[in-house]
């Protein structure tokens, strides 16, 4: 009996060692998978309705470009938390229209924000005034961006600001809305040889000025976030020819009353042979890059 008991104990010990080794190997594999994921730049164009919001994640840090509108606040918060966001290292507001600034009130309440950038343009709206008050009250670092500025995100990801110029862009459109749109921050996010051009709501007047700067290589990008939700006021053929995107993302709401994206924009993108993704049809669109290639995943 003693011999059998000893043999049983030995067998059990052997099984335990095998299980322990398997667990350690599994954990190591999971760790490598998590490390590999952290080393990739993830850009999520969030489905927040007729608005803009894009989350960048790299090496455990989080950057948000635009924040959606007021109606999309619950969806914005939910989607950020689903992505594991507790702290926003950087928030960039392209311009102070409600469909780009509208989610900030919820972000101030729900997340720790380290740094805020915008285009320096003021607004008379209560939303904007509350935004300014919260920055001061929470003592959040703030900077207005101009052409030539650079944001280094998590060490390896660089956001090059191409627009607006320091002197502003107020004279570029007749309407007040157009002036605000044309003051949008236009920036190119670069990671290795991969890049995404974010255009806010910049319209053709701003696009023409960007082309006249004579630095068309600055506009060339792997992926384009199409301007102004796919409106015909943006994405001129000449501008698209300079960008030459392999893929384009249009952030717009299903059945929106503006008719976005406009057919002319879709046709122009087709001529560039760009793959087109739309949040109204595809839901949240995730672009993941290792600094060379990239993949695109649709929510639906």
30 and 50 belong to one structural domain: no
Q: Are residues 14 and 32 in the same domain?
A: yes
Length of the chain: 300
Q: Three-class SS of residue 5? A: helix
Tell me how far apart the alpha carbons of residues 36 and 15 are, in angstroms, rounded to a whole number: 31
237 and 139 belong to one structural domain: yes
What DSSP line would sit under 134-195, residue for residue?
A: HHHHTT-EEEE--TT-EEEETTTEEEEEEE--TT--GGG-SSHHHHHHHT--EEEEEETTEE
Sheet order of strands, 115-118 included: 141-144, 115-118, 90-92, 61-65, 54-58, 41-45, 285-289, 294-298
Question: Is the same domain home to 157 and 13?
Answer: no
**82 plus 20 within the same structural domain:** no
Gap between the Cα atoms of 174 and 168, Å rounded: 15
Domain span at 10:
1-38
Supply the CATH number for residue 238's domain.
3.60.15.10
Query: What pLDDT is recorded for position 15?
Result: 46
In this structure, the answer to whether residues 88 and 2 fall within a common structural domain is: no
Looking at the DSSP bridge assignments, the partners of residue 249 are: 225, 277
Same domain flag for 22 and 113: no
Q: Give the three-state DSSP class for 296.
A: strand
Return the beta strands (E) in 192-230 as ranges. 194-198, 223-225
The token pair at 236 is 């001129």
Same-domain check for residues 111 and 240: yes
Same structural domain for residues 145 and 76? yes
Average pLDDT for runs of 10 along the chain of length 300:
51 49 48 66 98 99 98 97 98 98 98 98 97 99 98 98 82 63 97 99 95 87 98 96 98 95 97 98 98 97
The model carries a pTM of: 0.87
Burial 234-270 (b: 16+ CB within 10 A, else e): bbbeebbebbebebbbbbbbeeeeeebbbeebbebbe
Token pair in block for residue 19: 């299980």
Cα(207)–Cα(214) distance, rounded to whole angstroms?
12
3 and 143 in a single domain? The answer is: no
Note the pLDDT of residue 216.
Answer: 80
What is residue 167's predicted lDDT score, i.e. its pLDDT? 80
277 shares a domain with 140: yes
Q: In this structure, are 137 and 60 located in the same domain?
A: yes
**Torsion sign over Cα 263, 268, 273, 275:** negative
Q: How many other CB atoms are there within 10 angstroms of residue 111's CB atom?
A: 18
Name every residue whose Cβ is closer than 8 Å to that of residue 239 and which is 6 or more positions away in sequence.
204, 207, 208, 210, 211, 219
Number of domains, the chain? 2
């Amino acid at each position: 009996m003693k011999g059998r008991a000893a043999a049983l104990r030995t067998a059990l010990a052997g099984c335990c060692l095998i299980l322990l080794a398997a667990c350690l190997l599994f954990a190591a594999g999971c760790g490598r998978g998590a490390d590999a994921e952290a080393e990739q730049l993830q850009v999520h164009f969030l489905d927040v309705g007729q608005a803009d919001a894009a989350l960048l994640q790299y090496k455990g840090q989080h950057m948000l470009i635009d924040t959606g509108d007021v109606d999309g606040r619950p969806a914005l918060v939910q989607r950020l938390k689903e992505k594991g966001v507790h702290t926003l290292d950087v928030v960039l507001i392209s311009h102070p229209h409600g469909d780009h600034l509208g989610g900030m009130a919820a972000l101030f309440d729900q997340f720790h924000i380290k740094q805020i950038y915008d285009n320096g343009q003021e607004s008379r709206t209560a939303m904007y005034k509350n935004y300014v008050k919260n920055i001061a009250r929470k003592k959040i670092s703030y900077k207005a961006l101009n052409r030539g500025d650079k944001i280094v995100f998590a060490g390896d990801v660089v956001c090059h600001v191409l627009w607006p110029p320091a002197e502003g862009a107020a004279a570029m459109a007749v309407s007040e809305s157009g002036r605000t749109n044309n003051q949008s921050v236009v920036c190119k996010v670069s990671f290795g040889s991969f890049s995404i051009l974010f255009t806010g709501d910049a319209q053709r007047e701003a696009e023409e000025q960007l082309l006249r700067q004579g630095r068309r290589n600055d506009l060339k990008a792997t992926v384009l976030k199409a301007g102004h939700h796919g409106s015909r006021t943006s994405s001129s053929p000449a501008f698209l020819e300079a960008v030459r995107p392999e893929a384009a993302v249009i952030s717009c709401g299903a059945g929106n009353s503006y008719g976005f994206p406009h057919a002319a924009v879709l046709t122009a993108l087709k001529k560039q042979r760009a793959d087109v993704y739309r949040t109204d049809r595809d839901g949240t669109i995730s672009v993941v890059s290792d600094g060379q290639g990239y993949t695109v995943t649709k929510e639906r």
